Chain A
Amino acid sequence: MKPEFRTCPDSGLVFHRPAENLIKANAIAATIFLAVGGLLGLLVALTRWPAVQLLDAAHFYTVLTGHGVVLLLVWILFFEMALLYFCSAVLLRSRLATPRMGWLAFGLMLVGASITAVAILQGGSSVMMTSYVPMPAAPHFYLGLILFAVGALIGTFIFFGTLVIARDERTYEGSIPLVTFGALTAAIIAVFTIACGAIILIPTFLWSIGYISEIDALMYRLIWWGMGHSSQQINVAAHVAVWYAIAAIVFGARPMSEKVSRGAFFLYILFISIASAHHLLGDPGLSTEWKIFNTSYAMYLAVLASLVHGLTVPGSIEVAQREKGHNKGLFEWLRKAPWGNPVFSGMFLSLVGFGFIGGISGVVMGAEQINFLIHNTIYVPGHFHGTVALGTTLAFMALSLWLVPILFRRELIWPKLAMWQPWLFGIGTALQAFFMMGAGTLGVSRRHWDMAFAGSAFEWAYPGMAYTMMALNGISAIMAVAGGAAFVIVIVGTIFFGKRKGAIEYSATRPEMLRGPAASLSGHGNIGLGAKGFPAPGTFVLAMFLLLVFVVYYFVNYGYLASVWKFS
């Protein structure tokens, strides 16, 4: 047998060489696209800052299309491929299934992303990430996306294959770890997502080259959002898995209850696939019953899942901290957390930001009638910068700051810069989300070059506060991009210039079977905390605070809605 496995002396993780190489390749591609997408984002924000308005209209729409495609699809999916390989081959101490197909997947994704990028740069495909028909893009815009999706699908099946191999070759004992279970959730949603993408993008490609005469606008939106939103649900499942992983890595935290956490992931699989509905609440042609049932993910059962993770992730950290003796009062466990460690601070900012900003705003604007106040305003990008940038991207950054030194066996360069990175990026994106949501509440449109309507036959002025908010958004974007740049510099610098941590040696022997801890070590019965089975009282108080904000904000919006014109 070839020497293909190494055990990391620092982390104890076992790397299968082909898996390791694929993780490196996908993570590096992800980082490069993150850098590109972030710079495009800066141009967008500086153009929407009314006093600056950096780009002209044509360039603005081109750059905005690129920003959306590169960050919402390309960066995220490359990283998720790395994550899937990590959660299967590495966490399960298994060999990776069909590494050559992994390189095919990587190549297809790279070629596909490049083709679409070229189409966008050529200027004839400034159709936004959503490419709503009948606005046409160049055929290779769709073709590149299709190739990219095929690559991602292959990668997803390699993940499934690796799970089968690990089980078959008995590389682990009992059930797969919770983090792998979360990755499995993400992968299952990914299959549904990519299927939706294929069902709509292939006919649209054929339409663009003239083989199909018409694509119905509503059907396009319905199925496209089966991809467009579900792909963000892959992110949710993936970044929740990353939260659990970081809680385990930094604190040695155990899941409070395997049953509850896995059950919550399972709710994602069952109900999140109806995600296209809340994008269509202001559309003609769909029944009220359909809208209500689907926008709520069947009675908000997927939202319930996120609320559960919102308790159990910090709850498991609280229990671990209290077991270490940080047991005073409600919040000593949080005060004594390692705030200077970017792996933790990034994860925790991601958790809090996703809950309070991305989560609450998303559910509130997804309520059928409130959506009329929000639809297509810049509130929407405000919301999803709270979920995708602050939630997913920051969680992935935090994991990378831990994983890259282990993968490359090098020390992180510039630890001070790394320490500040999550704060710069996290606070910058949080402020951006906040200001965009504010401007959207005042009516400012998303995807709009000039809020002063230059060149129109009419005049209309938004309130001065809306202009101020868009300027503040620009300033916040500079901060966020500085944080993103710090991440890219630290990661790239570490890969090339980090101090080596000793030779990398591979062994021909199979690693030992992965075992869970002794059963006596789990359960929280005996740490002498708050009575009546409340081992994480601080987290419970924080969760109740989130719920309070949620409820108040929900009814404030319905209250405002009640004051506008009547319509039925």
Chain B
Amino acid sequence: MTAIHPPSHKVWWKQPVDRVEVVWIGIALVWCLIMFFFMPFWHVFGDQNYSGEAYRVTPERFNEKVNELVEQYTVRYETDRQIPVVRPPAGSDIYLLARLWDWYPILELEKGQTYRLHVSSVDWQHGLSIQPININFQVLPGYEMVLNITPTEVGEYAVVCNEYCGILHHAMLSKLYVVESDRNGEPQS
């Protein structure tokens, strides 16, 4: 009689289906297909995608690249720990390293310019979370993720680690600055 008994028709797969079910399955299937095709659609017409560009990298090699960037483009230091703030040229390759428990270095970018941001971890897994715009990526040791990012608003942003990475995870916080690009000479502070 019910769902806890065997079907009353032995050949249950030949029983006709109520129209309400057929109609609903049709509508639901259409919605499922819309959702499926919306993802590639956004890759073509949307401005927020990740292309999947990534490379294998060793922590040593990634450290070297980050240090090159810091040596060339540091404009000032912040906090008691003298964390470098780098101001790389617009459109260049920039590097952000995650480690227990900070981000290195601090980036200062120009509004409306596109940078190739390389991100990796040199120890455990971390999470790159840029606040308050709230975009989030996984950061894995051994993988160098490349994102072409274009900041659209001037301001001071927080870089939060949002993948649990041990006892001081909650203190793994840094800054990211976005400044106007039409200035002369020295970067603004």
Contact = CB atoms under 8 A, between A and B. Distances in A.
B162 A515 contact: no
A59 to B, nearest CB: 11
Contacts of B129: 376-377, 443, 445
A177 B152 contact: no
Interface string B38-54: 11101100111111101
Interface in A520-568: 521-524, 532-537, 539-540, 543-544, 547, 550-551, 554, 558, 561-562, 564-568
Contact of A547 (B12, B27, B39, B140): B27
A256 B5 contact: no
Contacts of A561: 46, 48
Interface string B117-150: 0010001110101111111111011111101111
Interface in A437-456: 441-443, 445-450, 453-456
B181 to A, nearest CB: 15
A166 to B, nearest CB: 11
Given A284-B140, A363-B35, A373-B136, A519 B164 contact: no
B90 interface: no
Given A259-B17, A565-B150, A132 B124 contact: yes
A292 B39 CA distance: 7
Given A257-B18, A284-B138, A456 B162 contact: no
Given A284-B144, A514-B5, A311 B175 contact: no
B3 A247 contact: yes
A565 B2 CA distance: 54
B165 interface: yes
Given A285-B54, A288-B52, A534-B19, A177 B13 contact: no
B38 A254 contact: no
Given A457-B79, A534-B20, A519 B8 contact: yes
Contacts, number: 352
A406 interface: no
B53 to A, nearest CB: 8
Contacts of A257: 15, 17-18, 21
Contacts of B32: 296, 299-301, 303-304, 307
A553 B68 CA distance: 45
Contacts of A534: 18-20
Interface string B87-125: 000000000000000100000000000100001000111
Contacts of A299: 32-33, 36
A328 to B, nearest CB: 18
Interface in A321-349: none
Nearest to B47: A566
A80 interface: no
Nearest to B49: A568
B7 interface: yes
Nearest to A532: B19
Report whether over half of chain B's contact residues are helix, strand or loop; otherwise say mixed: mixed
B185 interface: no
Contacts of B36: 292, 296, 299-300
B47 A562 contact: yes
A536 B3 CA distance: 17
Interface stretch (A95-103, A110-118, A364-372): A364-372
B79 to A, nearest CB: 4
B103 to A, nearest CB: 10
Contacts of A133: 125
B20 A311 contact: yes
B6 A175 contact: yes
A-B pairs, top 9 by smallest CB distance, nearest first, are A533-B19, A284-B54, A248-B2, A300-B32, A284-B145, A517-B1, A445-B162, A460-B158, A447-B164
Given A132-B163, A376-B162, 16 more contacts: A134-B141, A174-B12, A177-B2, A177-B4, A221-B138, A258-B12, A282-B50, A312-B21, A363-B35, A442-B132, A449-B170, A457-B79, A462-B131, A516-B7, A533-B18, A533-B20
